[in-house]
Amino acid sequence: MDQAEIEQTLNTSIEEQAFSGAISIRQKDHVLYARAAGYADRSNKIENLLETRFGIASGTKFFTALAIGKLLEAQKLSFSTLLKDCIALDFPRYSQEITIQHLLTHTSGIPDYYDEDKIAGFDNFTLSIPWYALRGPRDYLAAFPDEAMKFAPGEHFSYSNGGYILLGVVIEELTGMKYQDFVEQAIFKEIGMKHSGFFALNKLPEKTAMGYVEEAEGWRTNIFNLPIVGASDGGAFTTVHDITALWKAFWGYQILPKELVEIYAQPYVEAETEGEHTYYGHGMWIREEEGRNREEYITGCDAGVSFMSSVNRVNEMQVTVISNTTDGAWPMLKDINTILKRESMR
């Protein structure tokens, strides 16, 4: 690939889009492009770096799925284990047939406390309990709707933040540890994700970007739009370098054994609401367009956060874009896909 042309095109795109965040494009362990732009702290003009930690919103669900995978490997549960056999829930209208696999694959049918199909915009969403009270998965249960099931478990796909909150509760119940502590010890420390973690928004460590929301009257931070500490459905912080380490460890069977990796990365259910050729596996998305190589990816979006990291295992291409703005990642990803497609056709 013409690396100089890629650099020139994407550098121009960054300026035109006023992109704020970090980008990493790698192929076969070779860096094709890597750049950070914008500010981690706008007030104090602290620039983003490739080493800057960014929130990744629902990208965190992959960590939750990996943590469940650790428990599957240890035979503390199975895909067919019933949720009711792991934790006691005071929601009599929820099905008793929900399994761990239903929760992992967004096929449980439970009503969602944060139903993205009903949310007009992430930037002004609120809950019945204050964001500062949300410090762990169990704190979210008070916000769960006492409603009838959307559908019987296994019938359909419906993206569910609440389902991943329940997986976090299961992890805490079976390990006796806080969800965040288990992920940090069993995944981050084990594979060398040294700069990743679950940080309180009012106590961010150094080299961590604040998230920004753009409004008619200017920008503001996202501190009043998100849980004070991330949990099992979203809110972890990481770097583009740590995401590279994550993919390397995952595909190298350093986190989960080969048989589980193959299950996680296989299309399990078609995600009809996400467009054609899009599927969900276990904690990760799969795009399988005709005539193109399959891509596995993780993604997240929230107030002041947009993120996607994809892997094409055939051509060994890895693309990661993290932005500390609500929509900043998407136009950059579109431009990256355009130029990579053009380069591949030469």
Angle, CA of 285, 287 and 292, to the nearest 5°: 155
**Range of 293's domain?**
3-344
Helix axis angle for 161-175 and 60-73, nearest 10°, is 40
- Say which DSSP state 78 is in: -
Q: What's the structural domain count of the chain?
A: 1
**Ordered per-residue pLDDT tens for the chain, 346 residues:** 678 889 999 999 999 999 999 999 999 989 999 999 999 999 999 999 999 999 999 999 999 999 999 999 999 999 999 999 999 988 999 999 999 999 999 999 999 997 776 666 666 667 778 989 999 999 999 999 989 999 999 999 999 999 999 999 999 999 999 999 999 999 999 999 999 999 999 999 999 999 999 998 899 999 999 999 999 999 999 999 999 999 999 999 999 999 999 999 999 999 977 778 899 999 999 998 765 689 999 999 999 999 999 999 999 999 999 999 999 999 999 999 999 988 776 6
Kindly report the pTM of this predicted structure. Answer: 0.95
In this structure, what are the phi and psi dihedrals at residue 42, rounded to the nearest 5 degrees? -70, -40
- Beta-strand (E) ranges in 73-198? none
In sequence order, what DSSP letters do the residues of 262-324 get, joined into one string?
HHHTS--EE-GGG-TTEEE-SSSEEE--TTS--EEEEEEEETTEEEEEEEETTTTEEEEEEES
Taking alpha carbons only, the member of 273, 329, 305 closest to residue 201 is 305
Backbone angles phi, psi at 138, to 5 degrees: -65, -25
Question: In CATH, what number is assigned to the domain containing residue 72?
Answer: 3.40.710.10
Q: Residue 60: how many CA atoms within 13 Å on its side-chain side?
A: 32
